[in-house]
Chain A
Amino acid sequence: MANPILQVENLVKRYDDVEAVRGVSFSVAEGEVFGLLGPNGAGKTSTVEILEGLRVPDGGTISVCGLDPQKDPIALKNEINATLQATSLPDKLRVIEAIRMFAGFYKRNRNVDDLLKRFGLEEKRQAFYHQLSGGQKQRLALAMALVNDPRVLFLDEPTSGLDPQVRREIYDIIEELKREKKTIVLTTHYIEEAERLCDRVAIVDHGKVIAMGTPRELKQKSEHTSRIEARFARPASNGTLKGLDGVNDAREVGGAYVLHCQKTARAIVSLVKHLEAENNELISLEISTPSLEDVFIELTGRRLRD
């Protein structure tokens, strides 16, 4: 990477006897949306909170906007911002008061009225924090995370615990930020979120990065092949299907044939040729590519949300 805005090397964090982060390294380019995908307890939050300067690392080197979070905490905090997990605001603080106050802490400011408007909180300006719904609280958290127009924005599980409709709202907001070329580091345990929002993803498990790349690269790297589900006019034998060029495995599942193949295009050509030779007919064909979930299962042997 030419000029990474954020660089982590060999990050280590221990809590008593537990090693939560075990040698994590990655870098993020300016304008990139970078995701840390992994199950709960994988060390994602520890990692980002060290980068935000909220936690002290036990090892490794970090540079965020050219600063070391431990050496220059105040300078760093002026350059970044974040939404946190497990946080709150005083119940009796009004929306407008909260955002104005936080804007006042920074050297650089964005117009708070614009932010409230953009995050659909205009009507809630005078509402107390405890009167807001979960989605409104999260939108306020996002608005507050933008008050200093941060160079790097950290979003820790931005949609966790929100219902699907609110989650989509948050996705729209993040996609808009992405179009504005904001550098974002987000953690998530939702596959959909990582695939939809991130330019690059690091899959994290047990405190280690086990794979990294664009969602597409990760899926392509997967040994897990694409899956073709086909129906034929007449039954075919599994044995011959298995032997086709490009096909790794074939099974009959409820009248349909499921082929796992490494080279999808070649497999389709040989399948069609085979059917023509057999005078058989193709009734339907469906190709599904592996998801990041498949990649995760393949790498760890577990589902993301066990």
Chain B
Amino acid sequence: MKTILTLASMRIRITLRNKAFLFFSLVMPMGFFFAFCSLLAKGIPERITFWMGPILSLTVMGTFWGLSMQLVTWREQGILRRFRLAPIAAASMIGASIVANFALILPTVILQLTLARVIYHVTNFGNLFSLLVFVLLGISCFGALGLVVASVTNTMQETQIINQLLWFALIFLSGATVPLAVMPRVVQRIGLFLPATYLVSGLQRALVYGTGIFSLWVEVISLAAWGILAFTISSLLFRWEPEAKLPRNAKLWAVSTILPFILLGIWENHNGKLLKQAANMLDERPPANAPAATTPSTNP
């Protein structure tokens, strides 16, 4: 445990000294925050409550980006092999990455909630306990996703490409930017297979309706199952050495981490409950001064 904390505090320090990593954990999330609050929610507190779901989801999901890049860089530069020489287990190394992620992301989350209260006068944050659970769960799960990406990519370029593909899928198909309810049917159907959709949905229901954690069990259990699966598989696939080869079916293992969401996606596509909830939430939002403008694309 001491080793994990030592490694985590080192990672935090290095990350804070690195402008690129800082960008993903602070600058970009704050950019989304101001853009969503001002442009999409037009500064209306009740609407901001709705948009805080996507905003916090983006903040939390961004964690996989910096984490995977750092691990791959460290492996490429032979930094990980120096750590391997010390009595450190692979699980401590990657556990420390997740622990560090909490410290790097939570301040941004708190800052966003505080600014929503102070600048935009938002008073309703729904069920704060549910909110906290989803933020913590999201940081762990998407951190584990970063670990999986790092475990199956060999170079920075590869990591960047995979990250960008994942990022676009996660933000555009899940309701994290454009609400799922206004998306075409086919996108909605795909979105139901993405973990991001359930994070957004869980956060949004906690915020808007103040839903308790037990009523959000589908989201909680699916995200937790995914996180545990991703963490386990990435620690099995963890490579310290730049020249260490990927086991033949490693990519298959990595993809298999998404299994909980394939099952859940099939189920949700079948019963349509989540989509209905998303549509209701969008309809029930208080009207803005301007006629129901929800997204930039539908804006006149």
Contacts and interface: CB of A to CB of B under 8 A. Distances in A.
Nearest to A76: B87
A92 interface: yes
Interface string B219-253: 00000000000000000000011100000000000
B74 A105 contact: no
A89 B86 contact: no
B87 A93 contact: no
Given A92-B14, A97-B10, A97-B13, A74 B78 contact: no
A87 B3 contact: no
Given A86-B78, A87-B78, A92-B14, 17 more contacts: A54-B85, A54-B240, A54-B241, A75-B87, A77-B86, A78-B87, A84-B85, A87-B79, A88-B77, A88-B79, A89-B82, A90-B10, A92-B13, A93-B14, A101-B6, A104-B2, A106-B86
B18 interface: yes
B87 A105 contact: yes
B14 A81 contact: no
Contacts of B84: 54
Interface string B72-109: 00100111011011111100000000000000000000
Interface in A102-148: 102, 104-106
A101 B14 contact: no
B17 interface: yes
A84 B88 contact: no
A77 B79 CA distance: 17
A90 B86 contact: no
Nearest to B11: A90
B272 to A, nearest CB: 49
A193 interface: no
Interface of A: 52, 54, 73-75, 77-78, 81-82, 84, 86-90, 92-93, 97, 101-102, 104-106
B95 to A, nearest CB: 14
Contacts of A73: 87
B6 A84 contact: no
B78 A106 contact: no
Contacts of A89: 79, 82
Contacts of B10: 90, 93, 97, 101
A74 B13 contact: no
A102 B18 CA distance: 21
A82 B14 contact: no
Given A97-B10, A104-B2, A90 B74 contact: yes
B79 A81 contact: no
Contacts of B89: 74
- In this complex, the interface size class of chain B, counting residues with CB under 8 Å from chain A, is 20 to 34
A86 B81 CA distance: 9
Contacts of B2: 104
A36 B82 CA distance: 21
A77 B78 contact: no
A252 B78 CA distance: 54
B56 to A, nearest CB: 29
Contacts of B3: 104-105
Interface string B1-32: 01100110010011001100000000000000
Contacts of B13: 92-93, 97
Contacts of B81: 54, 84, 86-87
B17 A84 contact: no
The CB with the most chain B CB atoms within 10 A, among A84, A93, A97, A105, is that of A105
A127 B14 CA distance: 14
Nearest to A81: B85
B14 A90 contact: yes
Interface string B43-81: 000000000000000000000000000000010011101
Nearest to A80: B85
Contact of A106 (B17, B79, B87): B87
Contacts of B242: 86
Contact of B82 (A88, A97, A106): A88
A192 to B, nearest CB: 27
A84 B78 contact: yes
Contacts of B6: 101, 104-105
Nearest to A54: B84
27 contacts: A54-B81, A54-B84, A74-B89, A75-B87, A81-B85, A82-B85, A86-B242, A88-B77, A88-B78, A88-B79, A88-B82, A89-B79, A90-B10, A90-B74, A92-B17, A93-B10, A93-B14, A97-B10, A101-B6, A102-B86, A104-B2, A104-B3, A105-B6, A105-B86, A105-B87, A106-B86, A106-B87
A102 B84 CA distance: 11
Nearest to A86: B78
Interface in B157-216: none
